[in-house]
Amino acid sequence: MATLMDRVRAYLRSPKGRQNIEKAKRMARDPRTQEKARGLLNRWRSRRH
């Protein structure tokens, strides 16, 4: 039986997985997406204190 990590690796090597990796990279370069991520991180940090 394949472990979870083996299944994840197989997905990431598949054509659909590679497409999603490229999509995530494009989104990560977008300044609006970066600002959203910073906002979520800041809200999460402020709730912990």
| Angstrom distance (rounded) from CA 21 to CA 13 | 10
Phi first, then psi: give them for residue 8, nearest 5 degrees.
-65, -45
Indicate the SS3 state at residue 19.
Answer: helix
Q: Is residue 37 part of a domain?
A: yes
Q: Is residue 21 part of a domain?
A: yes
pLDDT digits (tens, 9 = 90+) for 18-28: 999 999 999 99
pLDDT digits (tens, 9 = 90+) for 1-41: 689 999 999 999 999 999 999 999 999 999 999 999 999 99
Q: Is residue 39 part of a domain?
A: yes
Q: Is residue 16 part of a domain?
A: yes
Give first-to-last CA distance, the chain, whole Å. Answer: 43
Q: Is residue 2 part of a domain?
A: no
The count of structural domains within the chain is 1
Q: Which domain holds residue 16?
A: 9-48
